[in-house]
Structure 1
Amino acid sequence: MTPRTPFRRAAALLAVLALGLAGCTSTTARETGSSDGAGVIGVALPATEDAAWEQAGDAVASELRDRGYRVDVQYAADDARTQASQVQNMLTKGMDAVIVAPLSADELEGPADVAREDGVPVLVLGRGLPVAGAGYAAVVEPEELGRAEARALLDALDAGERTDAADPTISPDAGTLDPGTGAPDTSEPETADPDPGGSVSTTPSGPAEVIVLGGDENDGWEQRRYDTAIDTLAPAVAEGRILITSGATWADATVAEAPLDVAAAAEERVRDALPGTGVVEDPAVAILALGDAVTRGVVTALTTDPPVSETASPTPTPSATGDRAVPVVVGSGADLATVQALDGGVLAATVFVDTRELAIPIADAVEAVLDDSEPAGDGTEIAGLSGIPALAIGAQTLRADDIASALVETGWLTPEELSG
């Protein structure tokens, strides 16, 4: 390992101060482990708001600790400049290796250059972005997520899982509902409705109209998820089974310019698209929420009333019952609110990755690189990082019946957390 010079340490410190002033978002830090000389590992993750990252952080820290390392876990509150500052600070403090789930490869370019010059290994976790000089990657492939979400949406629509069909509740003045959309039907019926109270046919009329929502418009990793989802939906569009009414392009689908704003922006987009806080009053009958934060925002819009003032708190109503007729929704992740919405019928499905599975391979890789050995990969190729060993873990599509086996029995959630 190249020794650090006083000049290098001073330059790194100046970079930390500059980045720290630029990114003033609140963050979370956890330091754990032993001090028996095995080494100190820095772990830089996006945010504790995502259960996937919190679980990954806990699992990676525990695995490394069990192998004798001290571990410094930092969460960047979804701010890329804050994450770059945290990584730089880890290098300044003399970490033996740094694991990072990158929010932005561009923002990490400076710290990555310092790591390379100082001989500090950098390993990529979760999000396979091309961090300069990275020597290993244990990732989730966004293409698999996009494909799984799109297929789950098509399956739900083919199964007729529309809330207006399962729970045909209408308000007294709503009239007849369009069976394909759940919205008031203003067209003349072919035959008179013998029940002016509004019985609802469960037979779809025309293509299912779909809103596709993506996250941060600058996130290339999320764009790969979106592109694959659209490709997967394309045959159904061509056949006339679905019509993408919003989100047919990446620019139209994205809801925010930074990851920190995604959940709130997705919530606002859904409230605008479905006036009445989730009551289907326009032709959209399905929502594809591409991303964990996007899904949280959609769930909030569909399960809470909007605040009556800037200081008021929403009133939770986490189910598709009562006088709310919500569209078919497929999302991703297993945040508590997401799982409760799945359990309550608000979500038809969520695509889940157990990020705890990343802990053993990333810890194996740390041991290998610190021993000047090549870590083991499975042949996964990371765009922009060709030639480095990499490994990808799989995803699973969860429906309400899968919650107990996939999440509760595995310890992702406790029964008490699920019940609220």
Structure 2
Amino acid sequence: MSLSLIGILTILTIVALLIWNKTSPIIIMIILPVVGALIAGFGVAEIGVFFEDGIAQVMNVVVMFIFAIIFFGIMQDAGLFEPIINKMIDLSGGNVVKVAVATVLIAMVGQLDGSGASTFLITIPALLPLYKRLKMNPYLLLLLIAGSAAIMNMVPWGGPLGRAASVLGMDANELWQPLIPVQIVGLLLMVGLAVLLGFREQRKIENEYGLVDGAKAQEETSEGNDEGPYEANSKETDSKGNSLERPKLIWVNLILALAVIGILVSGVIPSGFAFMLGVAVALLINYPNITDQTARLRAHAPSALTMAGIILAAGLFLGVLTGSGMLDAIAEDFVTILPEGVTQYIHLIVGFLGIPFDMLLSTDAYYFALFPIIEQIASTVGVDSLSTAYAMIIGNIVGTFISPLAPAVWLALGLSGLEMGKHIRYSFFWLWGLSLVLIVVAVVFGLISV
């Protein structure tokens, strides 16, 4: 059996199992590549070498992920984001357009920790009552949160960039820095979309219900939601029974968070090292008691280690595919089949179809199975690997939170009491259009070659 056929069967089986979602990605990406390598005739010792090479390729990403998740978890525990979010809600003043814009801004802040689940937990309980009072469509709320959070998720500690960086064997921070201008444009476009859809929603409300008293709606919402979006967090306490929030240290925490992000943007030290320092300082400042420090680490370790485990398993998967020559064989065979004109633009074609792919493939399948193949095929005709990465990241990431394969989306639907089908119908074409515009922007900025 040829290497390319074994590689394709291994990848397709992994993709199918990831879509089926009945087994952990860690199990899938450890067992199947090893089985594929054994079938291809490689010995255990050779597979061990593939493992070492693959793990070395992703180790920097793993370290960054672990400490980034813990750092932003501590910042959330300390209450850094709460006053910012509450202030944005107050400034909206019950005006439909302002509420729509505030939704985008709040989702941006909420997504700073790279977790879609926490973003929905922060934004939906805070804003859904206001949307209902103002007669605003709750699916607009989901659309604005989904688009804003997805674009904000281009940060290096977000899942997609970390996965792409591990495939390319580079620091996620290096991959992110050229993306910052595209990210800024994307966030500005989301604000513009919020204004456009806000005015449309306002006209619709006036036609159906007449004028709504925004100030009264704002007041009633505040009275009915006194504890705010961090209600669950405020009930957590430290070893002395005090709230985990540190309102007196908010400016210190803000300076610390901005310093860590500034270091990432500057690239003066590796991103993992920056977050390690950030975690150490954050714990020392906010929770000087060793019992509280241990409790905070334990609280955020599960999500940090889960993501680290997936990346390490992907390292083995990529190490086997690369070291065994399967990826090279697949790319060479595909190039002989595809017309030259198609091969030259395959990164753009897949990028343009990124959001439809997101509806069919999980994030792991897209970046660990599809991306390596497309990158290898495109590189055989001279397309730079980074160009392929940016096309596929930008084309796909905007649709992260409309995919039924994203667990955070189901959390959002549960919190809001809405339906997946209606969410997709309401949001899909707006977000797909946004992703296409951002790909064009990336081409203009020179990130994607044509």
Structure-1-length-normalised TM-score: 0.24
Q: Structure 1 or 2: larger helix share?
A: 2
Structure-2-length-normalised TM-score: 0.23
Higher relative contact order (CA 8 A, sep 6+): 2
Q: Structure 1 or 2: larger strand share?
A: 1
